[in-house]
Each structure stands twice: as C-alpha cells, then as structure tokens.
Amino acid sequence: MKCRKCQNKASVHMRQHKLALCKEHYLEWVPEQTERFIKKYQMFTREEKILVAVSGGKDSLSLWDILMQLGYQADGLYLGLGIDGGIGYSHESQRLSEKFANEHNLKLHVVDIEKEYGQSIPMLAESSHRGYGKPCAVCGLAKRHEMNRIARDLGYDVLATGHNLDDEAAVLFGNTLSWASEYLLRQGPVLPEADGLARKVKPLCRFYEREMTAYALLSGIEYIYEECPFAEGSQSIFYKETLNQLETTRPGAKLTFYLKFLEARKSGELFIEKNVKQGLLHACPKCGQPTSTPDLCSFCRMVEKANVKTE
Ligand code: AMP
Ligand code: FES
Ligand code: ZN
Ligand code: ZN
C-alpha cells in the first residue's frame, strides 16, 4: 500500500476513509483534520485560553501535542485520582503527563483529589457507597466537577478533553439503547457555556481510537498503555467491542453512526415526528398505489427500468 500524497510506503491505512498515508503525511494529516473540526464545530479561536484535561493516555497527550503545533494557547490539567490497581496507575500517568509538559515547555496544573478533599477516588467510592464496589461512577462525577471548577477558577475560556470517536460512539450507543433523550440532546463535539458551566469541547471526536494510537506512536509520545484498572468489564468496553465487530464487516459504520446522529440532531429531526410526507402522497399513474415520488412510484419505475435494460 502506497501513501496517497507521496507514493512512499504507507504506514497507516484507514479503510473507513479509503486513505493510506506514510508517517510524514499522517503526522500532517491529523492536525489538519483537527483544525478542520475545530473550525467546523466552532470550538475555540486562537485568542481563547484552552485548558486541556490530560490523563497521561494517548488521546489527551496527542490532543495537547496537536493544539500546540496548531498554535493554540493550551495549558494542561492533570487530576490525581489516587488509583493504584497494582500498577501504580495514577502515579505513572502523572509522571508521563509531567514529562510531556516539561519536554515541550508547557504549563501543567496538577490537582490531587486526596489533597483537596481528604480522600482519593477509591476511598470516596468506598465511603460514599456509590457504584457497587466500582469507583467509576464516583470518579466520573469527581472529574467532571473538578474540571469545571478549575477551568472557571483559573479563567480559561474552554475545557478540552481527549474523547475519540470510539468513546463517543460507545456513549451514543448506550444512550440509544435506552433512548436517554436528555443525554442524547446534549451529546456532541461542543457543549456551550451556561450558568456556571465552562464550554466543553472534544476536538478528537471524529478520529478512530486506532488513528489516535497511530498518531501517538508515530510522533513518539510516551503515554500510559494501561487502561484504568477499574475499567475492565465495564459497559463502555463492551459497547466498544460490539461496535468494533460491526466496523469489521462494515468499515465506516462507527463514523456514520456518530455523524448521522449529529446531523439528525442539528436539523431538529431527533424525536420529532415527521409526518410532512403523509400529505404529499399521490396515486402512481400506473398502479394507483400511494407514492411520494414524482410521477411513477419507485416500484413501477424499477420494473420499467429493468425492462428497458433487458429489451
Ligand atoms: P476517560 O474518561 O478516562 O475515557 O477520559 C476521557 C478524557 O477525560 C481524557 O481524554 C482526558 O481528556 C480526560 N481525563 C481523564 N482522566 C483524567 C485525569 N486524571 N486528569 C485530567 N483529565 C483526565
Ligand atoms: Fe476513574 Fe477508572 S475509575 S479512571
Ligand atoms: Zn507520504
Ligand atoms: Zn406504481
């Protein structure tokens, strides 16, 4: 497989885009695409101050790297969750976030939940009896709360997270399975600022997870490979696997699922009954059955075309 731009050997092949690129062109393509998404969804401008939530993982560190390359003013925020899981998870992810910041001369705010509130995430989960032994719900709640508080306290215009397409499609899938309309109406690349809430953006929401892995590896970003030790067996991982199976047989299915949702929501079609077409039906001149297509109905037209071809 050859790079579409230079004919050298391709490093990344994206079946869903019918696109293959060499390392050099891939590392150009990702920031270009990101810039397109930032503009398309009006996420922020170069005059605004951005706070990037960095977890030490490939997505958020790549996001920081991309924003820096594109010339945006982006500082980082690392939240110390106090999760060990036998692998020193929080410790290692903090180390890698700090390393990235130092190497690129970027400003990183570090806020430790235990220092701030007296208890780490696993301790809070334990003592609040929320989440049936798993701290993920407590952790999500604390992260959202702290990110918003800090972004506002420190005067940032916008908070950016590293959610990728796989993350977003999995959330969308979950919300669709239960028709959680309130969540569906709020999910998207941008959540505008509201009373007391900072604007939230997800500039990587149209990149597949494997595209972000490729970006991080090819740019030599050192990130934590391990997932959070509590994520194992979670619903979101199950949804991601399910969507990946779908993607294997239908490349692009994940992206279409997400983009068509955004379109439907934007045009106001979501949850609004569409009965306009009902009134526009007329009788097909050939068979007399109701149809909305001009002149012949779709069936009669198909039969007519088929006969022309065989004549
Ligand atoms: P997750 O919820 O772990 O899938 O992470 C989603 C996004 O939340 C990441 O891409 C980061 O932008 C942000 N995030 C997750 N964990 C942290 C953390 N400990 N500190 C700061 N940001 C985080
Ligand atoms: Fe929060 Fe896993 S429980 S990152
Ligand atoms: Zn190339
Ligand atoms: Zn007809």
273 CA distance to ligand 4 middle (Å): 26
Confidence class of residue 270 from pLDDT cuts 50, 70 and 90?
A: confident
Share of the chain above pLDDT 90, in %: 84
Lining ligand 1 with CB less than 6 A are 53-55, 59-60, 77-79, 81, 143, 161-163, 167
CATH superfamily of the 26-278 domain? HUPs (3.40.50.620)
Higher pLDDT, 133 or 128: 128
Residue 298 has pLDDT above 70, yes or no: yes
Q: Does 89 contact ligand 2 (Cβ within 6 A)?
A: no
Q: For 52-104, what is each residue's pLDDT tens digit? A: 999 999 999 999 999 999 999 999 999 999 999 999 999 999 999 999 999 99
One-character DSSP codes across 198-250: -EEE-TTTTS-HHHHHHHHHHTT-----SPPTT-TT-HHHHHHHHHHHHHHHS
Question: Which amino acid, 159?
Answer: L
* Minimum-distance ligand 2 atom for the alpha carbon of 134: 3
CA neighbor of 210 nearest in space, from 15, 41, 31, 7: 15
Instruction: Report pLDDT for 131.
Output: 61
* Minimum-distance ligand 1 atom for the alpha carbon of 204: 10
How far apart are alpha carbons 275 and 285 in whole angstroms? 23
28 CA distance to ligand 2 middle (Å): 32
Q: Does 87 contact ligand 2 (Cβ within 6 A)?
A: no
Mutate to test the pocket of ligand 1, among 51, 113, 143 (most ligand atoms within 8 A of CB): 143
The predicted model gives 177-206 an average pLDDT of: 95
How far apart are alpha carbons 295 and 284 in whole angstroms? 6
Instruction: Report pLDDT for 271.
Output: 72
Confidence class of residue 179 from pLDDT cuts 50, 70 and 90?
A: very high
Residue 308 has pLDDT above 90, yes or no: no
Question: Domain map of the chain by residue range?
Answer: 26-278
DSSP state for residue 12 in the 8-state scheme: E
How far apart are alpha carbons 147 and 76 in whole angstroms? 11
Q: Which residues surround ligand 4, an ion (CB under 5 A)?
A: 284, 286-287, 297, 300
Average pLDDT for the chain: 94
Residue 158 has pLDDT above 90, yes or no: yes
Ligand approaching nearest to the C-alpha of 83 = 2
Residue 48 has pLDDT above 90, yes or no: yes
Region of 86 (left: φ > 0; alpha: ψ -120 to 50; beta: rest) is left
Query: What phi and psi values does residue 108 have, to the nearest 5 degrees?
Result: -120, 125
Q: Does 287 contact ligand 2 (Cβ within 6 A)?
A: no
Tell me the angle at which helices 58-69 and 89-103 cross, rounded to the nearest 10 degrees.
10
Is the distance from CB of 105 to CB of 68 less than 8 angstroms?
Answer: no
Q: Which residues contact 202 (CB under 8 A, 6 or more apart)?
A: 160, 161, 162, 163, 168, 189, 190
Instruction: Report pLDDT for 279.
Output: 62
Is the distance from CB of 251 to CB of 16 less than 8 angstroms?
Answer: yes
Task: Please tell me the least confidently modeled range out of 154-158, 269-273, 304-308.
Answer: 269-273
Q: Which residues contact 249 (CB under 8 A, 6 or more apart)?
A: none
272 CA distance to ligand 4 middle (Å): 29
Residue 123 has pLDDT above 60, yes or no: yes
Q: Does 136 contact ligand 2 (Cβ within 6 A)?
A: yes
Ligand approaching nearest to the C-alpha of 124 = 2
